[in-house]
């Protein structure tokens, strides 16, 4: 999905291939979008937005994010807790995906094991306390 956004932004900004590849090299140090890490994808998209690209909004007025994971039965309560914490903080699922990637080198929260999910819940709880939200 993110690579698609990059190519959509490129075409909507009217970039030719040389300018596009220079932007990738300047922002992420690569010459092709397929070589981008998830963090670099975010940087490239942020640069496109800085240059004037606006992601299309959904019917609700928000940029479309990914859907909630469908966990296995033994992990359902932990994923439910994570969902509640994200809702309370006003953050998308991509936020906890980025946490999982940073903490465990796992790209998506639904690929985490039970112990990793518990640690994500704890990290989100700590973050809520730091920002004055109830846990």
User: What is the three-state SS of the chain?
Assistant: CHHHHHHHHHHHCCCCHHHHHHHHHHHHCCCCHHHCCHHHHHHHHHHHHHCCCCCCECCCCCECCCCCCCCCHHHHHHHHHHHHHHHHHCCCHHHHHHHHHHHHCCCCHHHCCHHHHHHHHHHHHHHHHHCCCCC
pLDDT single digits (tens) 17-73: 999 999 999 999 999 988 988 888 888 999 999 998 888 765 554 555 677 787 788
pTM above 0.75, yes or no: no
CB 7 within 8 A of CB 36: no
d(CA 4, CA 84) in angstroms, rounded, equals 29
Angle at 76 between CA 78 and CA 73, to 5 degrees: 140
pLDDT single digits (tens) 97-111: 999 999 999 888 988
């Amino acid at each position: 999905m993110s690579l698609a956004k990059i190519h959509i932004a490129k075409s909507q900004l009217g970039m030719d291939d040389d300018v596009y590849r220079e932007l990738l090299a300047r922002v992420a140090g690569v010459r092709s979008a397929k070589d981008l890490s998830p963090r670099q994808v975010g940087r490239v998209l942020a640069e496109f937005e800085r240059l004037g690209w606006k992601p299309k909004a959904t019917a609700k007025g928000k940029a479309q994010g990914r859907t909630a994971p469908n966990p296995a039965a033994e992990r359902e309560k932990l994923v439910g807790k994570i969902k509640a914490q994200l809702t309370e903080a006003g953050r998308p699922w991509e936020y906890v995906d980025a946490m999982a990637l940073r903490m465990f080198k796992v790209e998506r929260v639904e690929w985490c094991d039970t112990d990793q999910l518990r640690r994500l819940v704890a990290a989100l709880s700590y973050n809520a306390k730091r920002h004055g939200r109830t846990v």
